[in-house]
A and B are shown apart, each in its own frame.
Chain A
Amino acid sequence: GENVEQHPSTLSVQEGDSAVIKCTYSDSASNYFPWYKQELGKRPQLIIDIRSNVGEKKDQRIAVTLNKTAKHFSLHITETQPEDSAVYFCAASRGNTPLVFGKGTRLSVIA
């Protein structure tokens, strides 16, 4: 089955700096890679996703890159703000099937 590894587990950045979170996956048939943000006590919320036929996708300060050959995808947050502080999860799946999640990255943005 699919296995998703996520690094780092914790990340602290100064406000305004960039943050990068990396994930690897094992199943070459996976074709959907979402990123979720979870604030304390809240549900995971989708912030951006990418499919295997696309190498990069950007939405304002957030971007995701995918390297299918290396089975590697990354989340990039630029100009970080205190409200970006949360736990971020990457995930992988084959289309509309159950997601396999990474273990999460706790991002702290220091004002």
Chain B
Amino acid sequence: DAGVIQSPRHEVTEMGQEVTLRCKPISGHNSLFWYRQTMMRGLELLIYFNNNVPIDDSGMPEDRFSAKMPNASFSTLKIQPSEPRDSAVYFCASSHSGTHSYEQYFGPGTRLTVT
């Protein structure tokens, strides 16, 4: 298996532009997590899906952020409009609920820079 796939790996955009981050979870995994990593706040959850349904979006900073999971093999995180304080590394992780393994597998991350 290729593991969790994220694209793009790097994104540089100007303030006010729309940014879309993409994630393909490991095949067969039914839980998907979006985390954000910054120096100041560390690793924090943005949103969590189970069986394609958003379960917990309490970490989504504000209405500028939205996430979707239209099917079991694809999720997007959109920021519109983007701001410099959104600059961070965004990780997608997946796991298989319903098994005895709770391990979350992280993708390589998308490094977002908003100027």
In the assembled complex, the CB of B1 is this many whole angstroms from the nearest CB of chain A, namely 15
Are B103 and A43 within 8 A (Cβ)? no
B 99-111 binary contact with A (CB < 8 Å = 1; else 0): 0001110111100
The complex places the Cα of A98 from the Cα of B95 at a distance, in Å, of 10
Out of A45, A89, A95, name the residue touching B102 (CB < 8 Å): A95
List B residues at the A interface (Cβ < 8 Å): 31, 33, 35, 42-45, 48, 56, 59, 91, 95-98, 102-104, 106-109
CB-nearest residue of chain B to A103: B42
* Total A-B Cβ pairs within 8 A: 49
Are A96 and B102 within 8 A (Cβ)? yes
Are A96 and B97 within 8 A (Cβ)? yes
B-side contacts of A102, CB under 8 Å? 42
Total interface residues on A, CB under 8 Å, equals 21
List 10 tightest A-B contacts by C-beta distance, closest first.
A101-B43, A96-B97, A43-B106, A98-B45, A32-B102, A103-B42, A98-B48, A96-B102, A44-B106, A43-B108
Are A45 and B106 within 8 A (Cβ)? yes
Cross-chain pairs A/B with CB under 8 angstroms, 14 sampled: A32-B102, A34-B102, A42-B108, A43-B107, A49-B103, A96-B31, A96-B96, A96-B98, A97-B56, A98-B45, A98-B59, A99-B45, A101-B42, A103-B42
- Interface residues in A68-111 by Cβ distance below 8 A to B read 89, 93, 95-104
A-side contacts of B98, CB under 8 Å? 96
B-side contacts of A93, CB under 8 Å? 102
In the assembled complex, the CB of A107 is this many whole angstroms from the nearest CB of chain B, namely 16
Quick check: is A46 within 8 A (CB to CB) of the other chain?
yes
A-side contacts of B44, CB under 8 Å? 101
Known: A44-B43, A44-B91, A89-B43. A99 touches B104 (CB 8 A): yes
